[in-house]
Amino acid sequence: MPPPKMFILDSNAYFRLAISIHPLLGQKFGKSTNEQYVLRVIAQLDAEYSRSTRLRHKFHWVGKPKYKENRMAEQLKVIGKQKVEMEQARSFILSTEKDLGCNLSLVDATALATGFVKQQPVVTDDKDMCAVANELGIEVWSLLQLLKLMLDEGHIDLDKTKEVAQFLDYENDLPSGRSKFIQHFRQFFGVAPFNDASPSS
């Protein structure tokens, strides 16, 4: 059996999914035994969370034991030769970021560098991360793309996709403007994410 395809979640993707889908990380899914998928985060996510008063206030649940235990058990560690390659890739990513006039945090750049070295997609809706990734040929997936894959592969149901969307709406943390998000959600899932979303929204 081949190893599962791994998706590396950026910090925002993790914060947007983990409360609604638990345990989120390390759970293999896929209808075919020959094509499985798994979600991971980089180890630096927890350091970023610990340093940021804003993140700790907004996503206070992230510090609860059940979420922390899942991250500690399933975070992606890069060691040895790949660690050297990741650090080199991160330096190049940060240089490209400046050339493009983008603004990446060190954790953002590390996530992209890890995806580059591991040759695995990064899940992000951050415009600057997407711009740098596209420039360097790093595969990126949006949150809705990932949810559609999870639905198609029987890992979650349609109600769960709407639960995620409604949580993000409640938290005022939609990846895009509300009307655009409703439009994109309909394109992926064929239904509106919110009860107040009219057919023409």
CATH fit for domain 5-143, picks 3.20.20.80, 3.30.428.10, 3.40.50.1010, 3.40.50.1110: 3.40.50.1010
Sheet holding 140-141, edge to edge: 29-32, 35-40, 5-9, 122-123, 140-141
Instruction: Give 82: exposed, middle or buried? Use CB within 10 Å, 0-12, 13-18, 19+.
Output: middle
Q: Residue ranges per domain, the chain?
A: 5-143, 157-201
CA 125, CA 41: separation in Å to the nearest integer?
15
Q: 47-67 burial by CB neighbour count: b if 16+ within 10 A, else e?
A: ebbeeeeebeeebeebeeeeb
CA 51, CA 92: separation in Å to the nearest integer?
25
CA 134, CA 119: separation in Å to the nearest integer?
14
pLDDT in tens, 66-92: 999 999 999 998 999 999 999 999 999
| pTM, entire model | 0.94
pLDDT in tens, 162-181: 999 999 999 999 999 999 99
pLDDT of 192: 96
